[in-house]
């Protein structure tokens, strides 16, 4: 019997409590309750460390954290799908309220109106931001939103090809490949300048701004898709929508994107929230959780999970998706973020990113050996061509207290994707320029 004198701080029952309960149950020992486990398979001999108290574990966690070089301590120019923006204190404070943080999925609406009403707010604000008719309560992340959108387009059009513009994030395209392998959707990679797509294409998928930070000619792609009977799926950076035209204006059918940029820390890649919005007509094919407004038996307005007949707990193998989580807490953070900045504030954030990144690009262009090879309008990220391997340059930049941009030499030879947001002060940008100048092309 494993019963030791150990008393976990998370378990209230003591040995006398357990004894009293076993007596009430009518068994002599705990083993009797595990009697259904086949003989010889009970095994409590775990090869793992002994319990650590709060003080010791915190010390150890801080040691591990100290092994990481932390943006904030370092100037950081990384983006490529995860963005550092200022998060107002109110976001963490309010979303951290235990009434939100430790609540269950709102299947019992009478005791979940807080969660449900904030979910309705999220759906509303995402519609305002994207210019779309309806939004769900979020997917796991931006990449899975994109993959689910492709599956949804295939259900709607009953077609089994997806045309993906080659400037969509390579990581997102990898996730798309994982998701479409079993349903048998063929992926065609097309240039943004394509003037035709294969027959029977369900959707054209474009990222705006694209993986390299630049604006695509989405009007042309919308026409290309719609003329061929395909849907246009646009993956957006929501902060860019603070200043750039929303997808609803250029005919997007489904809009997806990474919601992390709206008030969520980068946290080494997750948890994030995948945005998902579409036209009204497609609502019953939309995956994920949706909250609707209705009335109670007294006629008072209230909110409830709705359209659940699409969902796995009713339709099982015919469900629109297996998704059973909504990342509701992260959606709440984004809601508070959007409310904090509001109509003018988000525009301000976007413009800061725009001007600062352009300032950085103009300074980098002046450094001998470096260049900004792509033309066109960019938002907050741009490609810098380095005189030598970007990973070597990044290693040297660490000595200057700088975490450089993403190494995209797989896409652009000696390419580095540089991201500049409002988090990067002029000093940081100038220091980057100085450091790059000093590092030069030496390897």
Partner 1 sequence: MTSLLERAALDRRKLLMDRSRSGRIGTTLPPLDVPEAQLPEPSLLRDDLDLPEVSEGEIVRYFSQISQFNFSIDHNFYPLGSCTMKYNPKLNDEIASIPGFAQIHPLQPVATVQGAVKLVWELQEVLNEITGMAGCSLAPMAGADGELAGLLMARAYHLDRGDDKRKNVLIPDSAHGTNPASAAMAGFNVVTLPSDSNGNTDLDALRDSVSDELAGLMITLPSTLGLFDTNILDVTRIVRDAGGIVYGDGANLNAIVGRVKFGDLGFDVIHSNLHKTFTQPHGGGGPGAGPVIAGPRLVDYLPTPVAGRKTDNGEETFSLDAPSNTIGRMGAFHGNFGALVRAWSYIFTLGKEGIPQISEDAVINANYILSELKGYYDLPYDRTCMHEVVFAATNLRREHGVRAMDVAKRLIDYGIHPPTMYFPLVVEEALMIEPTETESKETLDYFIDVMKQIAAEAAADPEMLHEAPHNTPNTRLDEARAARRPDLRWRRQE
Residues 187-206 that bind partner 1 (CB under 8 A): none
Answer yes or no whether residue 38 interacts with partner 1 by CB under 8 A: yes
Is the CB of residue 162 less than 8 Å from the CB of residue 154?
Answer: yes
Q: 3-class DSSP state for residue 17? A: helix
Contact segment (CB under 8 A) with partner 1 among 8-16, 188-196, 221-229, 364-372 equals 8-16
35 DSSP β-pair partners: none
Answer yes or no whether residue 137 interacts with partner 1 by CB under 8 A: yes
The helix-helix angle for 426-439 and 328-365 (nearest 10°) equals: 50
Answer yes or no whether residue 442 interacts with partner 1 by CB under 8 A: no
Give dist(CA 420, CA 381) in Å, integer: 6
Contact segment (CB under 8 A) with partner 1 among 75-83, 226-234, 367-375, 381-389 equals 75-83
Helices (H), 131-189: 142-157, 170-180
Q: Find the shortest distance in angstroms from Cβ 52 to partner 1.
A: 5
Ramachandran area for residue 304 (φ above 0: left; ψ -120 to 50: alpha; else beta): beta
Answer yes or no whether residue 368 interacts with partner 1 by CB under 8 A: no
Is the CB of residue 395 less than 8 Å from the CB of residue 389?
Answer: no
Q: Find the shortest distance in angstroms from Cβ 116 to partner 1.
A: 8
Is the CB of residue 161 less than 8 Å from the CB of residue 185?
Answer: yes
Instruction: Give the footprint of partner 1 on residues 83-102 (CB under 8 A).
Output: 84, 86, 88, 90, 93-94, 96-102
Answer yes or no whether residue 366 interacts with partner 1 by CB under 8 A: no
Answer yes or no whether residue 124 interacts with partner 1 by CB under 8 A: yes
Answer yes or no whether residue 306 interacts with partner 1 by CB under 8 A: yes
CA 49 remoteness from chain centre: 34
Our CB check for partner 1 shows the closer of 86 and 228 to be 86
Please measure the distance between the N-terminal and C-terminal CA atoms of the chain and give it in whole angstroms: 62
Which of 157, 285, 312, 431 lies at the binding interface for partner 1 (CB under 8 A)?
312
Interface size with partner 1, residues (CB under 8 A)? 207
Instruction: Give the footprint of partner 1 on residues 238-297 (CB under 8 A).
Output: 241-246, 249, 258, 265-271, 283, 289-297
Answer yes or no whether residue 46 interacts with partner 1 by CB under 8 A: yes
Q: Which of 365, 430, 368 is nearest to 400 (CA)?
A: 430
Answer yes or no whether residue 104 interacts with partner 1 by CB under 8 A: yes
Burial 74-109 (b: 16+ CB within 10 A, else e): bbbbbbbbbbbbebeeebeebbeeeebeeeeebeeb
155-194 footprint of partner 1 as x/- string (CB under 8 A): --------------x-xx-xx-xxx-xxxx----------
Contact segment (CB under 8 A) with partner 1 among 189-197, 224-232, 350-358, 435-443 equals 350-358
């Amino acid at each position: 019997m494993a019963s030791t004198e150990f008393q976990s701080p998370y378990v209230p029952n003591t040995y006398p409590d357990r004894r009293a309960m076993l007596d009430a149950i009518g068994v002599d020992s705990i083993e009797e309750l595990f009697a259904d486990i086949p003989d010889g398979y009970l095994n409590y001999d775990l090869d793992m460390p002994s319990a650590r108290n709060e003080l010791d574990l915190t010390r150890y966690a801080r040691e591990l954290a100290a092994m990481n070089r932390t943006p904030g301590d370092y100037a950081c120019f990384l983006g490529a799908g995860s963005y550092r923006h200022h998060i107002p204190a109110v976001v963490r404070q309010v979303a951290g309220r235990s009434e939100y943080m430790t609540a269950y999925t709102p299947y019992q609406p009478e005791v979940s109106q807080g969660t449900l009403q904030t979910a309705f707010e999220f759906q509303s604000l995402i519609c305002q931001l994207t210019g779309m008719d309806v939004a769900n309560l979020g997917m796991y992340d931006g990449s899975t939103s994109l993959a689910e959108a492709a599956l949804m387009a295939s259900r709607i059009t009953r077609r089994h090809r997806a045309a993906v513009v080659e400037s969509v994030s390579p990581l997102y395209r990898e996730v798309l490949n994982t998701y479409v392998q079993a349903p048998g959707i063929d992926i065609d990679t097309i240039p943004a300048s394509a003037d035709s797509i294969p027959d029977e294409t369900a959707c054209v998928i474009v990222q705006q701004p694209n993986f390299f930070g630049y604006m695509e000619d989405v009007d042309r792609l919308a026409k290309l898709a719609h003329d061929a009977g395909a849907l246009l799926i646009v993956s957006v950076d929501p902060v860019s929508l603070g200043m750039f035209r929303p997808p609803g204006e250029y005919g997007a059918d489904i809009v997806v994107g990474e919601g992390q940029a709206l008030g969520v820390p980068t946290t080494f890649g997750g948890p994030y929230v995948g945005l998902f919005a579409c036209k009204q007509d497609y609502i019953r094919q939309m995956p994920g959780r949706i909250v609707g407004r209705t009335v109670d038996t007294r006629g008072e307005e209230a909110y409830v999970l709705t359209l659940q007949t699409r969902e796995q707990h009713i339709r099982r193998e015919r469900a629109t998706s297996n998704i059973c989580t909504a990342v509701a807490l992260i959606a709440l953070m984004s809601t508070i973020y959007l409310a904090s900045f509001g109509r003018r504030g988000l525009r301000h954030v976007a413009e800061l990113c725009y001007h600062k990144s352009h300032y950085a690009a103009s300074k980098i262009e002046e450094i001998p050996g470096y260049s900004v090879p792509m033309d066109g309008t960019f938002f907050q990220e741009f490609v810098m061509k380095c005189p030598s391997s970007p990973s070597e340059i990044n290693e040297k930049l660490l000595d200057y207290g700088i975490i450089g941009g993403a190494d995209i030499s797989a896409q652009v030879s000696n390419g580095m994707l540089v991201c500049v947001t409002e988090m990067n002060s002029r000093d940081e940008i100038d220091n980057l320029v100085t450091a790059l100048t000093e590092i030069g092309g030496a390897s």
